[in-house]
Amino acid sequence: MKKTTTRLADGRELMYYDSRDDVVRGRPDRRPLTPATSVTEIRTDPLLGEPVGYAAHRQGRTYHPPADQCPLCPTRGDRLTEIPEDAYEVAVFENRFPSFDGETGRCEVVCFTSDHEASFASLTEEQAALVLEAWTDRTRELSRLPGVRQVYCFENRGREIGVTLAHPHGQIYGYPYLTPHTARVLDALARHRERAGGNLFDEVLTAERADGRRVVLETEHWTAFVPHAARWPYEIHLYPRARVPDLLALDGPARGELPGVHLELLRRFDRIFGPDTPPVPYISGWHQAPFGTGLAVPREEFALHLELFTIRRGPDKLKHLAGSESGMRAFVSDVLPEAAAERLREVAT
């Protein structure tokens, strides 16, 4: 893998990831952009103790442009985009409309391919492996920034989710704080360690494999299952058999298997409701151990895992977060986890 780092016209960083070492990158950004500026404020809810970010500049971000004006496609002729090259494999750049500014974290966009009509699920294993290398490299680099506590590599797909750009892409957030979700998980790990003496992640994975009813896919190095208390209609958690805290710690065999496993799960999602339904909207994100001191447990206690879920509960029905879920964070699901797992096994290739 070859990485080439350059700058866009407004000073933002851009990285190309290529599968061949002889690829030369360096075309300049010809757009007349002013220096990038953004201001983010973070406040803490006094009752919940949870941070909330405010980024008013995001109101002006690009919203559902037509395909011939996509800012994530390569630059060709006079159509100037965020990617100055006329073709690329994987490109990562600082978000022009970040949720966190440079002093309070980092937000990056990951373009999985230059093909506007593709999707992550349509990538080859080699292409998916290059995306994995980019995620790993960005986790390493962002973890070194003084303002970053946690790195989250994720993909939103579908207008129903709120995606505003149709080009196949994801994002990476370098949070300047410990996210509420991860803080609760770390507290649960600490309480379980004190009460029972073991690692809660390990015990959950062991129990799911032993039960088997919710296991969707197993390989030599990975296990995918619908969690016992899944919140979403179709939800999969993917764990390496050997616990590691982040993508950086994955060994060669587990890393080598991952692209094929990841693609298989995404392709199964697209088959849940049959061939005549639109692509399934989903959120897919890598949960990694946070960095820094003051954690409830050592970061090695955390288990790297992927959480993949869709808000679609039927061919033409969505799971809306209405009063109970949005107002009280009390989920009620329409699909039993065991039934969801059975369906996800039925649509295996």
- Predicted confidence at residue 157, as pLDDT, reads 96
Burial of 19 (0-12, 13-18, 19+ CB in 10 A): middle
Q: Which of 64, 116, 167, 169 is an active site residue?
A: 169
Q: Do 249 and 150 have their domain in common?
A: no
Secondary structure element (H or E) that encloses residue 174, with its range: strand 169-175
Same domain, 164 and 189: no
Q: Pick the last residue of a domain from 133, 155, 175.
A: 175
Q: How confident is the model at residue 68 (pLDDT cuts 50, 70, 90)?
A: confident
**Is there a single domain that holds both residue 154 and residue 14?**
yes
pLDDT tens for 211-240 read 999 999 999 999 999 999 999 999 999 999
Q: How many domains does the chain have?
A: 2
Residue 178 dihedral angles phi and psi, to the nearest 5°: -80, 120
Same domain assignment for residues 136 and 226? no
d(C-alpha 157, C-alpha 282), whole Å: 5
Instruction: Note whether 128 and 120 are within 8 A (CB).
Output: yes
136 lies in the same domain as 192: no
- Both 27 and 155 in one domain: the answer is yes
CA distances from 95 to 108, 175, 286 (A): 5, 14, 19
Q: Are 154 and 174 in contact (CB under 8 A)?
A: no
* Same domain for 127 and 82: yes
Same domain, 188 and 309: yes
Range of the domain at 151: 2-175
DSSP tag of 218:
E
Final residue before a domain boundary, out of 175, 206, 230: 175
CATH number of the domain to which 101 belongs: 3.30.428.10
Residue 157 shares a structural domain with residue 217: no
Mean pLDDT of 268-292: 94
Give tens-digit pLDDT for 320-333. Answer: 888 889 999 999 99
Q: pTM value?
A: 0.95
Let me know whether 20 and 167 are in one domain: yes
Between CA 89 and CA 87 the distance in angstroms is 7
Lowest mean pLDDT among 10-24, 92-106, 207-221, 267-281: 92-106
Half-sphere exposure of 125 (CA within 13 A, CB side): 8
Are 238 and 319 contained in the same domain? yes
* Residues 156 and 60 placed together within one structural domain of the fold: yes
The domain boundary, picked from 131, 155, 175, lies at 175
Active site residue 181: no
| Position 28 pLDDT exceeds 90 | yes
Which secondary structure element, helix H or strand E, spans residue 184, and what is its range? Answer: helix 180-196
- The pair of structure tokens assigned to 216 is 């969707």
